[in-house]
Structure 1
C-alpha cells in the first residue's frame, strides 16, 4: 500500500514541477501508450477500453493542437498542425470502426511525433 501512495505522490510531483518541455514529452509518451492500449483492447474485443484509450490519445493531440502557435511557427507549424489533424481523424475512424489496421497505420506516426519532440528537446538542450 505504501508503495502505491509513494508512486502516486511521485507522479503528481513530476507533473506539478515539470517544465513545459517535460510536460510536452510526457504528453507524447502518453499518446503512444494510450494508442497501444487502445489497439490491444480492439484485439481483445474490449470496446469500452478501446474507446477510452483512443479518446485519451485524441485528447493529447487536441491539447497539442490547442497549444501550437501556428503563426509563430510558420510553415513548420502548419505542417505539424496538419499531421496532428490527420492523426486525430484517423483515430476517430479507428475508434468508430474498431479497426486494428488503422491503428497499425497510425501508431508508427504517433511514435514518430514523439521521437521528433524528443530529438527537438535534445537539440534545444545542446544549444543552451
Structure 2
C-alpha cells in the first residue's frame, strides 16, 4: 500500500468516527482554509490555483447545502441554504473578477458561522 493510499484510508476512517457536529466544524474550517489560499493565489497572480481553491470552497458549500434538512431545521435550514448560495455567488464573482474583496466577505461570514457553531455545540 502506498503512503497516499494509506493516508486516504486513514482520513476516511477518521471522518467516519467524527460526530456530525465536528464534521460541520471541519467543513467551515475547510472553507476558511480554501478561501485563504484562493485569496493568496489572487495576490500572487496564480490563476490556476485561484480557480482550484475557489472550486474547493464552493464544493464544501454545496456539501453543506446538501446536508440541510428543512423538515428538521425549519427556518434556520432555509436561511442557511440562502446564505450558503450567496457565498457561492460571491466566490464565483471573485473568481471571475480576480478580486479578493468578495473572498473577504465569504471569509468573514464563514468565521462568524464557525464561531456561532462552536457556541451552539459547546466546543
Q: TM exceeds 0.5? A: yes
Structure 1 segments, 4+ long, off by >2 Å, are 8-14
Does the 8 A contact of 1:31 with 1:60 survive in 2? yes
Hey, what does 1:45 align to over in structure 2?
A: 45
User: 2:19, 2:56 → 1: CA distance?
Assistant: 22
Hey, what does 1:103 align to over in structure 2?
A: 103
Hey, what does 1:27 align to over in structure 2?
A: 27
Q: TM-score normalized by structure 1?
A: 0.82
- SS of the residue corresponding to residue 78 of structure 1 reads helix
Hey, what does 2:93 align to over in structure 1?
A: 93
Hey, what does 1:120 align to over in structure 2?
A: 120
Instruction: Could you tell me which runs of 5 or more consecutive residues in structure 2 were left unpaired when the two chains were aligned.
Output: none
- SS of the residue corresponding to residue 18 of structure 2 reads coil
Q: TM-score normalized by structure 2?
A: 0.85
- Map Cα deviations across residues 5-30 of structure 1 (whole Å, 9 max, x no partner): 8xx47645432321222211111111
For this pair of structures, how many residues does the alignment match?
119
Following superposition, the deviation at residue 92 of structure 1 comes to 0.8
RMSD: 2.0
- SS of the residue corresponding to residue 45 of structure 2 reads coil
Instruction: Could you tell me which runs of 5 or more consecutive residues in structure 1 were left unpaired when the two chains were aligned.
Output: none
Following superposition, the deviation at residue 118 of structure 1 comes to 1.6
Does the 8 A contact of 1:70 with 1:81 survive in 2? no
